[in-house]
Amino acid sequence: MDSLPQGSDPINGQKPSEDCAVVGFRGRIDAYDPIITALRTLQHRGQESAGMAVFDGRKTILKKGRGLVTDVFNPSTDNMKGKIGVGHTRYSTAGSKDVIDAGPFVINSQIGFISVSHNGEIVNADELKEEMKREGVNFQSDSDTEVLLAELSRNISKYGLKKGFEVSMNTLKGAYACAVGINDRLFAMRDPNGIRPLVIGKNADGYIIASESCAIDALEGTVIRNVEPGEVVELTDDGPKTIAIHSGEKTAHCMFEYVYFSRPDSTIDGINVYMARVRMGMILARESPVEADLVIPVPDSGRSQAIGYSMQSGIPYTEGLMKNRYSERTFIMPTQNDRKAAIRLKLNPVREVIAGKRVVLVDDSIVRGNTMRFIVSMMRKYGAKEVHVRIGSPHIIAPCYFGVDMKTKDQFIARGRTDAEINSEIGADSLAFLSIDGLKEAIGLDENSLCLGCLTGTYPIDISRKLAEKITQY
């Protein structure tokens, strides 16, 4: 098995990782507790670091650190008072893993304190950074979020609030869903293609910005609406107010939000994630049937698609792989034996369920294929008669430039290989992927509304040769 980055999960570490969660709160109570609750709800979107910035009426107070939300914040000792704030959890896809690159970012500008929590990736960050350096702007980190913040600050200072946001959305290229605090005002901003999700909600205590609707549910709130692609919304005492609009040529919602990133209980741009995944499994069964005795998911990511596969095929669904939720959160795996042991700590087959059975093993995606290879071998060792792998998304063949840690072309097992060749690598009896048309049908959006770049190599935003060469060197 290939080595994983230090601190990665041996099961989900082989999956694409999204870079962060965004939260904002404005209300009649201190923002600290609602932001903590929302960040903990969205912890799946990033586990490297967590942070919060709160405006106390005079200044913005910032706290951030490495680890989970509960590692960084301590309600009994933290003194972060203020009714407006933004929060962030991070999985780095641009910049280093140091705390200095963690969000949120805060500056004291000509117009006061500006804080930004950002989900996505700015593809022209290097060019903007060099331009601003020539103008005398100093940068403290390698993060593209600091570049975004500096661009907002200089444009709002120069042109005023509305035009400043509009000019920034014209110059910033890439994916950005942001919660922005400007002194005692809170804004939500989403890139013109709407690549990353951003939702507005309300509860008894105030207004909420979040990457996913499940965070609003956790705060006993109701979803008001999504931030539209290219829209800047201010959260006022009277509710959301559109400040600026920058229309893109097309929407391009990231298909992986529906396949893997978002929690199944979230609704993203009007589409329930769980139901979309069930439909993926149903269409997969329709496209790639097989005679078998059981449908078993790879937990937890393949569960919804496996349910759909079972519903469509009539093959009974069962839990044949048990996930240990109390094993170590991080792993250092210098050798192949160590990596195998880490997976065995995390995942274990149920011999009595699978022995002598023809199994359909369902997962949401394959990137490198290493974990799937080992799971298939475990299933055989525990007595599975046949193992038929079904993947609830299409072949991943190209890098992502918009906030997912899929950067190098040689990491994709499906790139340049036939299904028969991939199947030989993972050691299954058969292998099939959901088609791109099947994916679009399951989500309910077509290629004019989805970003399918990692499946097709065609992106909604032009990618410069310089950026592509830089990223493929990572």
Question: Which residues are part of the catalytic machinery?
Answer: 20
Instruction: Give the HSE-up count for residue 300: Cα atoms under 13 Å, Cβ half-sphere.
Output: 9
Return the sign of the alpha-carbon dihedral for residues 208, 213, 219, 220.
Answer: positive
What is the spatial distance between Cα 319 and Cα 298, in angstroms, rounded to a whole number?
9
> What residues have CB less than 8 Å from 348, skipping those under 6 apart?
321, 322, 324
**How would you class 469 by CB atoms within 10 Å of its CB: exposed for 0-12, middle for 13-18, buried for 19 or more?**
exposed
3-state helix, strand, coil in the chain (%, to 5): 35, 25, 40
Cross-strand pairs, 116: 105, 180
Hey, what are 332's tokens?
A: 């250092």
What is the spatial distance between Cα 122 and Cα 146, in angstroms, rounded to a whole number?
10
> What residues have CB less than 8 Å from 99, skipping those under 6 apart?
49, 64, 65, 66
Q: CB–CB of 167/155 below 8 Å?
A: yes
